[in-house]
Amino acid sequence: MHLQIDRQARQPLYLQVAEQIRERIRSGALPAGSRLPPIRQLARELGLTRLTVHTAYAELQADGWIESFVGRGSFVAQRRGAQVHRQTAAPLSPEPRAAAGTLVEIMRLAHRPDVLSFAQAAAAPETFPVRAFGRALQAAIKRYERTLFDYGATEGEAALREQLAAFLTIRGLQVPPERILVTNGAQQGIDLVLRALVRPGDTVLVEQPTYLGMVERMQIQGLRLVGVPIDEQGLRPDALAEAITRHAPRLLYTIPAFHNPTGISMSPARQEAILRVAQQHGLLVLEDDIYGLLSYDAPAPLPLKARDSGGQVIYLSSFSKALMPGLRLGLVVADAPLFDELLSCKRLADLHAPQLTQLALAEYLGRGAFAPHLRAVCALYRERRDAMAKALQRSFPREASWFTPQGGLCFWVALPPGVDALELYRAALEQGVAFAPGQAFFPPLATQDHIRLSFAAHAPAVIERGLAILGELIGRHQARQGRQRPVCAGVPLV
């Protein structure tokens, strides 16, 4: 099938593919029932990655233009009925009509009632303290009345910043409220720091692998993303020093505590070494600590920022993982000149966060409700973490391997040799199970032999059931792949 791909166009490649196929279906050039080329073949023909073509097909399928059957391939749909069905299946979360990346797909799958998804590193909704928070909201409305709905302070509400300063002492940080900028979740913290510090063409170092929202965010700004290898103690200082020398980066983005996706925490000695290297080279470090509080086997490891005497570290956290993501509240800690830059960026981005959520959170924290919530959440997630460890042991082939995380929300699983994460992903989706393929977490070049499984949102029995399906599928793919090695060595992300 010949399609015209314009790599210079603003439109994402997968959308170019999807639209041209849709046009052919509309025009009748591709009649109902006709078979689309296999993903691998079309990707080769067009010089695209398989993920790009896969995303295009997924888009067409989501809109009801094509239907896919495991082992048979994809076909032009008889009538566009699938879309109607889909909308009935997931009325509460209308799927975006266009998806720009893996993050979208992960967020989409997490809300489909017909899919058992381990894809999203999300907290369990049943832990959300809806009633206690509702009371905090009422108290905030009563206390602040009209000022709650007027223009507010760009840096965040004073009452919340004071509570955040107290909150940060749990992480060993002594920070005055004036150094804390309230953000719409950690994602906005990342966005503001990149806007303030980095220009198109600049290089940012990240752990390899790293948070996929960071990978995608950097791609749209035209930043160079360089992955630094990690080992079981976290980021490697020797590799970091080498990357600094070679790439003259502007920033290092790191997740030292319960790293996403691997679950690894940086040892104290390693933290010291990393800080030393950063200081020697005058490299700023953006520390993402959103998982730091979710520790199940021992007291949580302290963040880098707690050891940062030289002011090298910009600290980032949020309430999305340990409390409720829908609050969209996070924070950045930065010192004077950078703080002012971040403030300007925040103001011109959206003036300020709503006072309603901020001051309700301040009330909630002020009532001491967070500490018992965190204890309960950690107990629940420990149980689910253990259930997933057991299910992996029971259901996954011996050739798969994983690291059992002491905190955070995910397992990072190495598939048996020859099993392709993306093919497994598609096959699993057909059976109603989803996970995050490892490719998504790798800056530019990726291997396809890992998957990320999140455990927090499911009861042990559900975890067991889902992993039994996955384990069986992996075994099947393993057997098949044993006979036929994949041609392509790496699937770079679009």
Subset of residues 415 to 454 that bind a copy of itself, contact rule: CB under 8 A: none
CA pair distance 336, 319, nearest whole angstrom:
24
Pinpoint the alpha helices (H) of 351-420. 355-366, 370-395
Closest separation between CB of residue 150 and a copy of itself, Å? Answer: 5
> Which residue number, 146 or 483, has a Cβ lying nearer to a copy of itself?
146
> Is 120 one of the binding residues for a copy of itself (CB under 8 A)?
yes
Q: How far is the CB of 419 from a copy of itself (least distance, A)?
A: 29
Query: Exactly one of 81, 229, 311, 326 binds a copy of itself (CB under 8 A); which one?
Result: 326
Cβ neighbours, 10 Å, residue 247 = 15
Rg (alpha carbons) of the chain, rounded to whole number = 23
**CB nearer to a copy of itself: pick between 93 and 393:** 93
Q: What is the DSSP string of 447-489?
A: -S-EEEEE-TTS-HHHHHHHHHHHHHHHHHHHHHHHHS--S-S
End-to-end alpha carbon distance in the chain: 20
Tell me the three state secondary structure of residue 434: strand
178 binds a copy of itself per the rule CB under 8 A: yes
Interface residue with a copy of itself among 1, 3, 122, 468 (CB under 8 A) is: 122
* Residue with smaller CB distance to a copy of itself, 41 or 344: 344
* Site map 14..33 versus a copy of itself, x via CB under 8 A: -x------------------
Shortest Cβ 262–a copy of itself spacing (Å): 22
Q: Is 55 in the site for a copy of itself (CB under 8 A)?
A: no
Query: Are the C-beta atoms of 235 and 266 separated by less than 8 Å?
Result: yes
**Where does this chain touch a copy of itself (CB under 8 A) — which range of 209-217, 265-273, 374-382, 386-394?**
209-217
Nearer to a copy of itself, 236 or 352 (CB): 352
Q: Which of 258, 339, 381, 442 binds a copy of itself (CB under 8 A)?
A: 339
- Contact region for a copy of itself (CB under 8 A) — 288-296, 320-328, 407-415, 477-485? 320-328
Paired with 208 in beta bridges are 229
CB of 400 or CB of 453, closer to a copy of itself: 453
User: 86-91: long-range contacts (C-beta < 8 A, 24 or more apart)?
Assistant: 86/62, 89/113, 89/114, 90/114
Stretch that binds a copy of itself, among 246-254, 334-342, 392-400, 402-410 (CB under 8 A): 334-342
Question: By CB under 8 A, how many residues form the interface with a copy of itself?
Answer: 77
Nearer to a copy of itself, 142 or 480 (CB): 142
Residues with Cβ within 8 Å of residue 373, at least 6 apart in sequence = 127, 129, 132, 323
Site for a copy of itself contains 239 (CB under 8 A): no
Q: If we measure between CA atoms, which residue out of 413, 423, 437 comes closest to residue 488?
A: 423
Q: How far is the CB of 74 from a copy of itself (least distance, A)?
A: 22
For residues 384 and 458, give the distance between their C-alpha atoms in angstroms, rounded to a whole number: 7
- Neighbour-count burial of 440, counting CB atoms closer than 10 A to its CB (0-12 exposed, 13-18 middle, 19+ buried): buried
CA distance 473 to 400: 12
**Per-residue interface string for the shown chain with a copy of itself, residues 66-105, x marking contact by CB under 8 A:** -------------------------xxxx-xxx-xx-xx-
Tell me whether residue 317 or residue 481 sits nearer to a copy of itself (CB atom). Answer: 317
* Nearer Cβ to a copy of itself (154/312): 154
**Shortest Cβ 293–a copy of itself spacing (Å):** 17
Nearer to a copy of itself, 79 or 146 (CB): 146
With b meaning 16 or more CB within 10 Å and e meaning fewer, what string describes 340-355?
ebbbebbeeeeebbbb
CB nearer a copy of itself, residue 341 or residue 383: 341
Q: Which helix (H) or strand (E) holds 192?
A: helix 185-197
Tell the smallest beta-carbon distance from residue 176 to a copy of itself (Å): 11
Question: Which amino acid, 424?
Answer: L
**Of the residues 114, 145, 238, 297, which one makes contact with a copy of itself according to CB under 8 A:** 145
Min separation Cβ 210 and a copy of itself, Å: 15
Applying CB under 8 A, which of residues 10, 72, 483, 485 lies at the interface with a copy of itself? 10
Class of residue 130 by CB neighbours under 10 A (exposed 0-12, middle 13-18, buried 19+): exposed
Q: Which is nearer to a copy of itself, 45 or 114 (CB)?
A: 114
Q: Are 176 and 404 in contact (CB under 8 A)?
A: no
Stretch that binds a copy of itself, among 74-82, 119-127, 395-403, 461-469 (CB under 8 A): 119-127
CA dist 412 and 208 (Å) reads 13
User: Given the rule CB under 8 A, which of 139-147, 366-374, 381-389, 426-434 is the region that contacts a copy of itself?
Assistant: 139-147
Task: Count Cα neighbours of 329 within 13 Å in the Cβ-side half-sphere.
Answer: 24
| Separation of alpha carbons 97 and 195, rounded Å | 28
Per CB under 8 A, contacts with a copy of itself among 347-406 are: 347-357
C-beta of 199: minimal distance to a copy of itself in Å? 8
**Residue indicated by tokens 């995608």:** 216
